[in-house]
A = this chain, B = another copy of it.
Amino acid sequence: MDEFSFINSIKQNSYKQPSLVKGIGDDAAVFRSEKDIVTAVDTFVEGIHFSRETMSPFQTGYRALAANISDLAAMGAMPAFYLVSVVIPKTWTLKEVEEIFSGMKELARYDHMDLIGGDTVSGSELSISITVIGLVEKGMARFRHTAQPGDHVFVTGTLGDARAGLHILTDKTSSYINSSYFVKRHQMPSPRSTFAVSLAGIDRITLNDVSDGIGNEANEIAESSDVTITLYDENIPVSDDFQQFPPSFQQEWKYFGGEDFELLGTVAEENWDALARIANDTGTQLTKIGFVSEAEKEPSVYVIIDNRKTRLDKNGYTHLK
């Protein structure tokens, strides 16, 4: 594959977003929106964030865009556009890089996103930098600083699966039940955009996406909102076959495994039923896992395990033992 075919292969022939005035093909892209615009960037480096041993180029692209879309979901925003910069080393063929773009395109098609810009440059290691742009009704972006005492804490889906999938991929010595499920959760995660966007009728909802594990995400919400969050360990949702892994792994993964790209949030008691209805309508597993209370000395996160309350710190599961 030469460079010309490569550029043709990543170029879109038509655009899905009506707000797009000009996509790829000029010095910059142009779009127009009556809505609020939400944007974030994330970079993925080979050997740090992904490895050829555990992911195909297609999956690498898919997952990289999924991680970015998940940030938009955490803001309540509908995905709309993405721009991609790739640093390509000699060890990657253009064909393989094209597969990375195909992986992104696959997810973008599902989410009606348009690729509106990018850059491909040479370098010594593969890195993929994705900027996503989403749209949300004016004033309806969801922030992490809006949690209030009395709120329920909820999470979508099940936790720890992506980390379990990575474990299965790297542990060649054992065999596991339902391994394809866990592996898929790692390689091709599904961000919760539909659910997030469907929450528009609820005035106040606090959202974070579970990229670093709920231990970290809950602490971010607690700090930003200046509240205390208490979780019930027995309520943390895990998938049916999660108990096949060693208990210490389960504890670590469900709190700190990360990259499940589920949504952790808080909502007022009066809006719980509406939330549950939206979850049901969008086919989203929703679990109440705790509550918000006033911060005492400082914002903190606790988890109740076997009637014992333990502090849940960022970046570590040792406190759980």
Interface of A with B (CB < 8 Å)? 21-22, 25-33, 36-45, 47-49, 71-72, 74-75, 77, 81, 83-87, 116-119, 121-125, 127, 129, 131-134, 136, 138, 141, 143-145, 207-209, 224
Indicate if the CB atoms of A39 and B28 lie closer than 8 Å: yes
Which B residues are in CB contact (< 8 Å) with A72? 27-28
Which B residues are in CB contact (< 8 Å) with A77? 28
Which B residues are in CB contact (< 8 Å) with A44? 121
Which B residues are in CB contact (< 8 Å) with A125? 87, 123-125
**A124 touches which one: B31, B118, B124 (CB < 8 A)?**
B124
Which B residues are in CB contact (< 8 Å) with A29? 38-40
Closest 3 A-B residue pairs measured CB to CB? A28-B40, A27-B74, A129-B129
Cα separation A138 to B21 with both chains bound (whole Å): 10
**A38 touches which one: B28, B123, B127, B141 (CB < 8 A)?**
B28
Given A21-B141, A22-B143, decide whether A83 and B40 contact each other with a Cβ distance below 8 A.
yes
Given A122-B48, A125-B123, A125-B124, decide whether A144 and B26 contact each other with a Cβ distance below 8 A.
yes
Q: List 19 A-B contacts (CB under 8 A).
A: A27-B40, A28-B38, A28-B132, A29-B39, A29-B40, A31-B36, A39-B81, A39-B83, A41-B83, A41-B119, A44-B121, A45-B87, A45-B121, A45-B122, A48-B123, A85-B129, A119-B129, A121-B127, A123-B125
Given A74-B28, A75-B30, decide whether A41 and B143 contact each other with a Cβ distance below 8 A.
no
**Which single residue of chain B is at the shortest CB-CB distance from A141?**
B30
A41-B85, A125-B125 given; 6 more Cβ-contact pairs under 8 Å: A27-B207, A28-B38, A28-B72, A28-B134, A39-B83, A119-B129
Indicate if the CB atoms of B48 and A37 lie closer than 8 Å: no
Cα separation A302 to B182 with both chains bound (whole Å): 60
Indicate if the CB atoms of B28 and A32 lie closer than 8 Å: no
Cα separation A118 to B49 with both chains bound (whole Å): 16
Cα separation A37 to B72 with both chains bound (whole Å): 18
Cα separation A136 to B29 with both chains bound (whole Å): 12
**A209 touches which one: B27, B36, B38 (CB < 8 A)?**
B27
Cα separation A44 to B87 with both chains bound (whole Å): 9
Which B residues are in CB contact (< 8 Å) with A136? 30
**Which single residue of chain B is at the shortest CB-CB distance from A122?**
B48
**Which single residue of chain B is at the shortest CB-CB distance from A126?**
B123
Cα separation A122 to B47 with both chains bound (whole Å): 10
Which B residues are in CB contact (< 8 Å) with A47? 123-124
Cα separation A74 to B28 with both chains bound (whole Å): 8
Which B residues are in CB contact (< 8 Å) with A27? 40, 71-72, 74-75, 144, 207-209
**Which single residue of chain B is at the shortest CB-CB distance from A34?**
B34
**Which single residue of chain B is at the shortest CB-CB distance from A132?**
B28
Which B residues are in CB contact (< 8 Å) with A118? 41
Cα separation A25 to B223 with both chains bound (whole Å): 11
**A37 touches which one: B37, B42, B141, B224 (CB < 8 A)?**
B37
Which B residues are in CB contact (< 8 Å) with A71? 27-28
